Amino acid sequence: MSKAGKQGIDDLYEVPTTTKWTTRKKVIVGVGIAAAVIVVVAVAVVLGVLLSRKGDTTATSDASVVSVYWSLDGVTSDSSNTYNGTLVNSASYFSQSNTQPFVAYGRGLSLSSTSSQYMTVSSPFLDLSSRSFTIEAWIFSSTVYSGDYGIFGQCQCSTCSNQCLYFLVRGSYLYAGFTSNDISGLTNISNSLWYHVAFVYNYNTKQQILYVNGVQDNIKSSASAYQGTNGTINIGSTIVLSVRSYFNGYIDNVKITTRAKTSSELLTTATLAGYFAFDASAPYNDNGPNGFNGTQNNAAITSGRVNEAIRFTGSSSYFSAYGFFQVGYGVYANRPFSVSLWINPSAITSCTIVQFAYSLTNWACHNLIGIWTYSNSVGQIHVQGWSWPIILGSYLTVNTWTHVSVTYSYTNGLRLYVNGVYFGNTGSFSFSNSGYITYLTLGYMYYCSSGSISNNGYQGSVDEVYIHSREITQAEVTALANP
């Protein structure tokens, strides 16, 4: 699947509606007028918290909000075929590779600073003046950062205050602004690693904000608005005080939204690797920001813990999706990950439930979550690292939904949460640093040699599968376990 399929996918937290996230907070209305007043106040407080977490509802309800997305999958057009670009100085695209973290499906811009390469969008003009906006991109430098490396720019007058917009890496830190109205990042950006970077201007609060991998990097208050009323868009190049700079490496999935996105939205975009709800008309599609849609074999849709779920019948019954790079064989430089899901076994047998593979062949995989049984009626949740650190978790009951979250970091090792409650951990250990992009498999697909989880088919249902490229918190685990 091409990343172009991602163009219509909104961030999970972008618009607060009555969804799986917003229905978590329920208020029991008491009897009597006094109790009713208390309930109204409580609801107002809860809604305020939810809205602050999930987005700027004033902005998202504004029909004038524009969203422009360039997948850069071998094309210079945006998702609406409106803001189409031109490659400059023989700029090209990199090829898909299963050893290149993040890129997964599709392609992206491959740029050489020494050749002055970039992409330009000359028309129509995208008006970002005197309003909020968010600029996002994935970047990967091929060389050690030194000097300026342009990511995104739009410039009317490079020496006039607030008339030239630029977003770049300066030295090894993010840098952005509008000429004499700038912000510098605090997080060191290394070469040879993918980063999700974002620059937000909030017109209402007059703030400039930088984000690295969904985490706020720096914030500047009392920042005047951008005032540029013409100028082409440049991707991979910027102009700062008449000096043009170019990026050296890869740029992918560039997006502009004419509102100030929230920190939770950007964290979702940067770290929610995949979300499978198994609902509605496209049950095997990824509902996260990356569009890693899957396929199934001998599985079916059934009633779930939340709406619908996927049901497996044992051997050769599985679901598979490709594009994950930080789990099992895919862990790169011991970076963290999390896997969360609901399981409802119809039979208690030793089996594999969650498997990751760097190739669709036997042995090239890792069984992460399964069931360990002492008999046909007594079974426990089984979590395994590479190759032997294991956790034997809670006992399971047939035809009962259980929520399982497994997180990993080099410091904490694997951690297991059952129904939102912390169960135990392995302690620090190192996963394989292969750097492969991997397949996620639910149910059993291929034989793995990675230890004690049984290579047998799972019988039962799975629902609400979340894959994060970070170690999610106890509070987030609790929220997922209480939809």
The percentage of residues in the chain with a pLDDT greater than 90, rounded to a whole number, is 71
pLDDT 10s digits, 112-161: 999 999 999 999 999 999 999 999 999 999 898 999 999 999 999 999 99
Torsion sign across C-alpha atoms 16, 20, 24, 26: positive
- What are the sequence ranges of the domains in the chain? 67-270, 273-481
Task: Tell me the pTM.
Answer: 0.84
For position 411, what pLDDT does the model report? 92
- Least confident stretch, 53-62, 187-196, 348-357: 53-62
273-481 has the same fold as 67-270: yes
* Number of H-type helices and E-type strands within the chain: 4, 32
As a whole number of angstroms, the distance between CA 310 and CA 302 comes to: 6
pLDDT 10s digits, 170-190: 999 999 999 999 999 999 999
More confident residue, 195 or 61: 195
Q: What is the amino acid identity at position 269?
A: T
DSSP string, 185-198: --S---TTS-EEEE
Task: Name the β-bridge partners of 404.
Answer: 341, 418
Q: Residue 91: helix, strand or coil by DSSP?
A: coil
For position 376, what pLDDT does the model report? 66
Q: Is the pLDDT of residue 29 over 60?
A: no
- Residue corresponding to tokens 């894959």: 467
Task: Report residue 6's pLDDT band, with 50, 70 and 90 as the boundaries.
Answer: very low
Rounded mean pLDDT of 302-329? 93
Residue 329 DSSP label: G
Q: Is the pLDDT of residue 107 over 70?
A: yes
As a whole number of angstroms, the distance between CA 22 and CA 50 comes to: 7
Residue 448 DSSP label: -
| CATH 2.60.120.10 is right for the domain spanning 273-481 | no
As a whole number of angstroms, the distance between CA 414 and CA 338 comes to: 9
Q: Are strands 207-212 and 243-246 parallel, antiparallel or unpaired?
A: unpaired
Q: Is the pLDDT of residue 332 over 70?
A: yes
pLDDT 10s digits, 223-265: 999 999 999 999 999 999 999 999 999 999 999 999 999 999 9
Give the tokens for residue 462.
């799975």
As a whole number of angstroms, the distance between CA 237 and CA 149 comes to: 7
More confident residue, 374 or 473: 473
Rounded mean pLDDT of 73-89? 96
Domain 67-270, CATH number (from 1.10.8.50, 3.40.50.720, 1.20.1050.10, 2.60.120.200): 2.60.120.200
For position 104, what pLDDT does the model report? 64
Tell me the pLDDT of the chain averaged across its residues.
86
